[in-house]
Amino acid sequence: MCERLIWAAGAAACCAGGAVAQENPVRLDGGMQVSPVAIAPAVLRQGRAERVGEWVAYAGQGARGAELIFDCNEHTGDCDPEGYWHFEGAVGPATDDFTVESDTNIEDGIQRADFAWVWHCGGGSGAELCIIGLWTQESDPRDCEGDSGDYSGWLLDFGTLTCNAGGYYATNVELPWPIPTDGSGSYVFGFLDDENNWVTGGSQAFWGTGDARGDPDAPGTQGTQRLEDKNPIDGFHAVPTECYTYSFGRCPDPLGGALAFWGARGGDPCDAGDCDGNGVLDTRDFTCYLNLFVARDPAADCDGNGVVDTRDFVCFLGIWNSCR
């Protein structure tokens, strides 16, 4: 039996057959496009979001040439192209799995994220400050793993937003997020106040990936399980009691958090293991990387989080072993 987990892996498949959410989904129409007014880098530590840099005014980072690598947001396929789905009720941070398209250039990372949400202000009215945190990580809710917090992410300050319980907000944010080393992991999505405390004033909207919406060409895939902090809301995910399956026979079905990642495609994922660049993976590449790692050379930053540490060594070793 899985105990309450947040930062360590648990036994496999605890989330398989997770509880179906009690609420019926509500269709959302009438969205509004917004952009962050300010951003700050942040990390996840022991169930808390911690800002690790100063707030700066947001400006697009030039990801216009990026391609979709994971899509649970774009309205394509056989489903009605208008609107998203929404589940009523308060919810804390959520974790959803994702797997990017197989030809994604992992080392280039995510260059842009698109997502949608409802800002219901905790059932109130008027307008409130809306700050969203988004992180990627290696852990996977399908394997009964709590949040591993491997990579830094971002706090996105959207300023004061009008409460829109009957509609939704959407955004396209051009910022870098690391991709899990094998292209498959999860992301954490949650709402915070200006002191980095989790709040329940909003919830992510829902859409679907790939075949679920009648679009087999949509990039990336996603499982049916999702962790949501709501039983109770305490900043942690209890596995399996907070693992839910969002399958209601709607289109698309099953539903997942409305989010898409953009990056670079067309490369060989094994290229990252060819340290000496001779086109052959062998022991010379291991020696090459080891020298870079010992010297703390920026080229040894395998996971792309800006810091050379033991996680980079594990990252490279995984690629090198799987691709030889």
**Of 289 and 20, more confident:** 289
**Of 270 and 167, more confident:** 167
pTM beyond 0.85: the answer is no
Using a pLDDT cut of 70, give the percent of the chain over it.
89
Contact 60, 182 (CB under 8 A): no
What span, in angstroms and rounded, lies between the C-alpha atoms of 135 and 71? 16
**Of 2 and 15, more confident:** 15
Using a pLDDT cut of 90, give the percent of the chain over it.
51
Beta partners for 50? 43
Residue 59 has pLDDT above 80, yes or no: yes
Q: For 240-269, give one letter per residue: b (16+ CB within 10 A) or e.
A: bebbbbbebebebebbbbbbbbbbbbeeeb
Q: What is the pLDDT of residue 278?
A: 83
The 10s digit of each residue's pLDDT in 94-146 is 999 999 999 999 999 999 999 999 998 877 779 999 999 999 999 998 887 88
**Of 188 and 9, more confident:** 188
Beta partners for 137? 186
What span, in angstroms and rounded, lies between the C-alpha atoms of 22 and 311? 39
The 10s digit of each residue's pLDDT in 300-314 is 888 666 678 888 888
Computed from CA positions of residues 309, 311, 315, 318, in that sequence, does the dihedral angle turn out positive or negative?
positive
Q: What is the pLDDT of residue 221?
A: 94
* Mean pLDDT to the nearest integer, 235-251: 86
Q: What is the pLDDT of residue 19?
A: 63
Q: What is the mean pLDDT of the chain?
A: 86
